[in-house]
A and B are shown apart, each in its own frame.
Chain A
């Protein structure tokens, strides 16, 4: 028992001698798009750690030891919110022992709070599948949402790191100018996509569809988050005979089986979109993410 108490004492002393946080603001981003945005806005003043990669299903993430360790040292947690991270982030935040990044504190940023969420369920019932009470959380698929979130995230960086406030301000200005020009360009490129009918595997592209005016006619998942079943796919096939679609969309992290099945039988194109930064070889940053997304859609609609 004595040795145990001695150990406890050593541990508590060690707390006081914990090394100070490094100079750069440490940002923990739950998904690649916010990691990329924080890097755009923070430059060298931030050190970004991204918890997941584009090939991971963001709904199925575990509270891994590495995530707890990274949250422990974070100055800012940037999450999507709208329950996207509900399966792991609350546990990581609770175990990390870092009061700075708890919800409600300046060190906790939820992107979904600054955009208008679509597809808010009228009825909250798990019988309807993996529904998100606040609305669809896949907000990054509309480039205009990035434009709405950027000033908020920039202001948060400046609040946490006031010494560099002017730098964050000027980086935001430069980013917004380039980003708005890029949006105008993407919208021009995407003009032929307006009204093009599509099928989606998971309801992951609601914002993209609303932005460029695609028309979703069917979903391969019978209910959000529920694996496509043969009977439901047959239903989709008969729907497509009545209302044909140009292509079937899936995110890079999803299995291609269901969309290939439909594509072969309905004789339509199967298009894999990067979904977020790193989803394919072309989507290296936020700009190329949308360049590539629009290019793939245009190719699929041909």
Chain B
């Protein structure tokens, strides 16, 4: 096999060398050929340059180049032939159907007086990744959004978040059925629930670096639904929107249930309108019902030791939200003001398991019920173009927690976590923002966290529209 190959290769090499030797040209002839090639090349380069120049000139001229309207402004309108059809140029080629793509880049510098690893809200179950990130410099989540009409009936949107830990998570990936009409907009896939006001807004459009405490305590930051959404806008001049969502219910306060059917149900109603030219508002009521099974976490018991506890049962959350925006004559360019408040109320009931390393015998399960609530109020004022200041106050009430027979071991301290936040941001264009934020958080008894953030948010690519 090998010798066969060698023979074939040498034969090939010989065949290649032979013609070269038999038609060997003189040096003078070679130089002549080289000159000719160089001339040809120069000639073509010059012609291409000339063509490029002409192309540039053609592009620089306005479409249709309407010289009449520019050079002879006094021609009567009736003499001008208006273009009969839309003059928008249709892009051609394989990329013509590319979707709208945009990316968000973010990062923070954080100075936190308490270790973010110990972050917790007194009296509330840990709800997920809600801590204020790392101390010092850190990269925020980078977001990649792709959206387009799928066909005449569907619109698709994908928003992927790239975390600084180099993992990828799908924030939203949904389809929207656009052909329903009658004020209906059915959505399906993964999406931020429409409950409350802030929930369906992405983190990079928030007015503060972090989420309000109520969102952290009751929804683990933001409530993402894997399921279906149906919204209906009533045919009235007053904005009136009804929404219903059915989902897997895997997100906090629920857990994965590993069962057929529906894990969470959400219903909400939003209404809003204008007050004169200068003000607009929106208010809403929302309700979330879901179930948790073995929502396990560690909690200090009355003896001061860390015990393993778990909750199984139903979780019902009601949210009232309100937002009011003011801009003189409705012109938000110079100055504007936004007032926003949300109130959360939750009732959980079911079984609660208390387990302390078998020191007290086997795990004890007893009835459990809790009523907890909280709120935040914030105001943001744009005092001159590009500059805004804002203040926010957060307050949580761990409420009445009934541990049933486990009351001998567990208690919820009557401490109200609260936080006061100030921010100043600079928005040189719609696509960039730099923010300074200072917060004083008293989230656990006797512990004050002074948090300082410097944040940047850059948006590039397709021009997105902002939700109200």
Question: Distance in Å from the Cβ of A54 to the closest Cβ of chain B?
Answer: 9
9 tightest Cβ-Cβ pairs between the two chains A and B:
A65-B272, A65-B239, A148-B82, A113-B86, A91-B465, A69-B239, A55-B329, A144-B77, A57-B333
Query: Which residues of chain B come closer than 8 Å to A234, judged between CB atoms?
Result: none
Scan residues 326-362 of chain B and give those whose CB is less than 8 A from a CB of chain A: 329-334
Q: Within 8 Å of chain B (Cβ to Cβ): is A63?
A: yes
Q: Within 8 Å of chain A (Cβ to Cβ): is B235?
A: yes
Q: Within 8 Å of chain B (Cβ to Cβ): is A160?
A: no
Binds B, one of A38-46, A206-214, A264-272: A206-214
With both beta carbons as reference points, the residue of chain B lying nearest to A95 in the complex is identified as: B185
Query: Which residues of chain B come closer than 8 Å to A97, judged between CB atoms?
Result: 180-185, 231-233
- A56–B176 Cα distance when bound, in Å, is 32
Interface size on A, residues (CB 8 A): 84
Query: Could you tell me if B385 and A116 are in contact, using CB atoms closer than 8 angstroms?
Result: no
- A135–B332 Cα distance when bound, in Å, is 24
Scan residues 129-158 of chain A and give those whose CB is less than 8 A from a CB of chain B: 129-130, 134-135, 142-144, 147-149, 151-152
Query: Could you tell me if B73 and A213 are in contact, using CB atoms closer than 8 angstroms?
Result: yes
Query: Could you tell me if B385 and A227 are in contact, using CB atoms closer than 8 angstroms?
Result: yes
Query: Could you tell me if B181 and A87 are in contact, using CB atoms closer than 8 angstroms?
Result: no
Residue of A64, A99, A130, A255 touching B468 (CB-CB under 8 A) = A64
Query: Could you tell me if B77 and A183 are in contact, using CB atoms closer than 8 angstroms?
Result: yes
Query: Could you tell me if A69 and B238 are in contact, using CB atoms closer than 8 angstroms?
Result: yes
Q: Within 8 Å of chain A (Cβ to Cβ): is B146?
A: no
Residue of B83, B234, B463 touching A116 (CB-CB under 8 A) = B83
- A8–B266 Cα distance when bound, in Å, is 10
Query: Which residues of chain A come closer than 8 Å to B281, judged between CB atoms?
Result: 65
Contacts A53-B277, A64-B280, A184-B76; is A110 near B183 (CB within 8 Å)?
no
Query: Could you tell me if A8 and B239 are in contact, using CB atoms closer than 8 angstroms?
Result: no
Query: Could you tell me if B73 and A69 are in contact, using CB atoms closer than 8 angstroms?
Result: no
Query: Could you tell me if B273 and A211 are in contact, using CB atoms closer than 8 angstroms?
Result: no
With both beta carbons as reference points, the residue of chain A lying nearest to B155 in the complex is identified as: A94
Query: Could you tell me if B289 and A1 are in contact, using CB atoms closer than 8 angstroms?
Result: yes
Query: Which residues of chain A come closer than 8 Å to B262, judged between CB atoms?
Result: 1
Query: Could you tell me if A87 and B76 are in contact, using CB atoms closer than 8 angstroms?
Result: no
Binds A, one of B33-41, B59-67, B163-171: B59-67
14 CB contacts below 8 A, A to B, read: A4-B289, A5-B265, A56-B329, A65-B239, A65-B272, A69-B237, A86-B463, A87-B466, A95-B185, A95-B231, A97-B231, A102-B178, A120-B63, A151-B82
Query: Which residues of chain B come closer than 8 Å to A89, judged between CB atoms?
Result: 465
Residues of B bordering A, CB below 8 Å: 56, 59-60, 62-64, 66, 69-70, 73-74, 76-78, 80, 82-83, 85-88, 155, 176, 178-185, 230-242, 244, 262, 265, 267, 270-274, 277, 280-282, 289, 325, 329-334, 385-386, 428-431, 460, 463, 465-468
Query: Which residues of chain B come closer than 8 Å to A70, judged between CB atoms?
Result: 237
Q: Within 8 Å of chain B (Cβ to Cβ): is A292?
A: no
Query: Which residues of chain B come closer than 8 Å to A116, judged between CB atoms?
Result: 62-64, 66, 69, 83, 87
Query: Could you tell me if B330 and A11 are in contact, using CB atoms closer than 8 angstroms?
Result: no
Question: Distance in Å from the Cβ of B272 to the closest Cβ of chain A?
Answer: 3
Q: Within 8 Å of chain B (Cβ to Cβ): is A52?
A: yes
Query: Could you tell me if B176 and A94 are in contact, using CB atoms closer than 8 angstroms?
Result: yes
- A102–B153 Cα distance when bound, in Å, is 11
With both beta carbons as reference points, the residue of chain A lying nearest to B291 in the complex is identified as: A1
Contacts A8-B230, A97-B183, A144-B77; is A65 near B468 (CB within 8 Å)?
yes
Query: Could you tell me if A66 and B73 are in contact, using CB atoms closer than 8 angstroms?
Result: no
Query: Could you tell me if B244 and A115 are in contact, using CB atoms closer than 8 angstroms?
Result: no
Q: Within 8 Å of chain B (Cβ to Cβ): is A122?
A: yes
Query: Which residues of chain A come closer than 8 Å to B60, judged between CB atoms?
Result: 122
Q: Within 8 Å of chain B (Cβ to Cβ): is A299?
A: no
Question: Distance in Å from the Cβ of B263 to the closest Cβ of chain A?
Answer: 10
Query: Could you tell me if B267 and A7 are in contact, using CB atoms closer than 8 angstroms?
Result: yes
Contacts A69-B233, A86-B463; is A130 near B77 (CB within 8 Å)?
no
Query: Could you tell me if A66 and B274 are in contact, using CB atoms closer than 8 angstroms?
Result: yes
With both beta carbons as reference points, the residue of chain B lying nearest to A207 in the complex is identified as: B69
Query: Which residues of chain B come closer than 8 Å to A18, judged between CB atoms?
Result: 182-183, 234-235
Query: Which residues of chain B come closer than 8 Å to A11, judged between CB atoms?
Result: 230, 232, 242, 244
Query: Which residues of chain B come closer than 8 Å to A134, judged between CB atoms?
Result: 88
With both beta carbons as reference points, the residue of chain A lying nearest to B272 in the complex is identified as: A65
Query: Could you tell me if A1 and B466 are in contact, using CB atoms closer than 8 angstroms?
Result: no
Q: Within 8 Å of chain B (Cβ to Cβ): is A217?
A: no
Residue of B86, B181, B230, B386 touching A99 (CB-CB under 8 A) = B181
Query: Which residues of chain B come closer than 8 Å to A226, judged between CB atoms?
Result: 428-429
Query: Could you tell me if B73 and A253 are in contact, using CB atoms closer than 8 angstroms?
Result: no
Q: Mark A98-123, 1 if CB is under 8 A from B, else 0.
A: 11101000000010011111111010
> Which of B83, B280, B333: most chain A Cβ within 10 A?
B333
Q: Mark A58-95, 1 if CB is under 8 A from B, else 0.
A: 01101111101110110000000001001111110011
Query: Could you tell me if A64 and B179 are in contact, using CB atoms closer than 8 angstroms?
Result: no
Question: Distance in Å from the Cβ of B315 to the closest Cβ of chain A?
Answer: 13
With both beta carbons as reference points, the residue of chain A lying nearest to B325 in the complex is identified as: A62
Query: Could you tell me if B182 and A60 are in contact, using CB atoms closer than 8 angstroms?
Result: no
- A95–B265 Cα distance when bound, in Å, is 21
Question: Distance in Å from the Cβ of A218 to the closest Cβ of chain B?
Answer: 20
Query: Could you tell me if B63 and A135 are in contact, using CB atoms closer than 8 angstroms?
Result: yes
Query: Could you tell me if A60 and B331 are in contact, using CB atoms closer than 8 angstroms?
Result: yes
Other contacts beyond A94-B185, A147-B78: 11, CB < 8 A: A4-B267, A99-B178, A99-B179, A102-B178, A126-B429, A130-B429, A148-B83, A180-B76, A211-B73, A253-B331, A255-B385
Question: Distance in Å from the Cβ of B307 to the closest Cβ of chain A?
Answer: 32
Query: Could you tell me if B86 and A110 are in contact, using CB atoms closer than 8 angstroms?
Result: yes
Query: Could you tell me if B274 and A96 are in contact, using CB atoms closer than 8 angstroms?
Result: no
Residue of B66, B83, B325, B431 touching A114 (CB-CB under 8 A) = B83
